[in-house]
Amino acid sequence: MKEILRLDNVEKYYGRGSSLTKAVDGISFTVNEGDFVVIMGPSGCGKTTVLNCISSIDDVTSGKVYLDGDDLTKVSRKSKNTIRRDKLGIVLQDYNLLNNLTVYENISLAMSIKGIRVRKDDPTILKLAEELDIKDLLERFPDQLSNGQRQRAATVRALVTSPSILLADEPTGALDSESSSMLLSKLFHLNSRNGVTVLMVTHDVFAASYGNRVLFMKDGMIFHELNRGDKTRKEFFDEIVSIYSLSGRRNISAD
Ligand SMILES: Nc1ncnc2c1ncn2[C@@H]1O[C@H](COP(=O)(O)OP(=O)(O)O)[C@@H](O)[C@H]1O
Ligand SMILES: [Mg+2]
Computed over its alpha carbons, how large is the radius of gyration of the chain? 18
Distance CA 169, CA 228 (A): 21
For 244, what's the count of Cα atoms within 13 Å in the CB-facing half-sphere? 19
Ligand 1 centre and the CA of 46: distance in Å?
A: 6
Predicted pLDDT at 248 = 64
Predicted pLDDT at 254 = 34
Ligand 2 centre and the CA of 40: distance in Å?
A: 11
- Closest ligand 1 atom to Cα of 58: 1
Predicted pLDDT at 95 = 81
Predicted pLDDT at 142 = 97
To the question of pTM greater than 0.85 for the whole model, the response is: yes
Predicted pLDDT at 136 = 98
Query: How many other β-carbons are positioned within 10 Å of the β-carbon of residue 221?
Result: 15
Task: Provide CB contacts within 8 A for 181, sequence distance 6+.
Answer: none
Predicted pLDDT at 99 = 96
Distance CA 23, CA 221 (A): 9
Please list the pLDDT of the chain residue by residue as tens digits (255 residues). Answer: 899 999 999 999 999 988 999 999 999 999 999 999 999 999 999 999 999 999 988 899 999 999 999 999 999 989 999 999 999 999 999 888 999 999 999 999 999 999 999 999 999 999 999 999 999 999 999 999 999 999 999 999 999 999 999 999 999 999 999 999 999 999 999 999 999 999 999 999 999 999 999 999 999 999 999 999 999 999 999 999 999 887 764 443 333
- Residue whose CA lies nearest to ligand 1 atom number 14: 46
Distance CA 26, CA 222 (A): 8
Distance CA 202, CA 147 (A): 18
Distance CA 211, CA 228 (A): 8
Query: How many other β-carbons are positioned within 10 Å of the β-carbon of residue 177?
Result: 9
Task: Provide CB contacts within 8 A for 7, sequence distance 6+.
Answer: 27, 28, 29, 30, 50, 53, 54, 63, 64, 65, 66
Q: Are 199 and 39 in contact (CB under 8 A)?
A: yes
Ligand of minimum distance to the alpha carbon of 47: 1
Predicted pLDDT at 182 = 97
Pocket of ligand 1 (CB under 6 A): 14-15, 21, 23, 41, 43-49
Predicted pLDDT at 165 = 98
Query: How many other β-carbons are positioned within 10 Å of the β-carbon of residue 55?
Result: 19
Predicted pLDDT at 251 = 44
Predicted pLDDT at 247 = 72
Q: Angle at the Cα of 218 (from 229 to 51), degrees rounded to 5?
A: 75
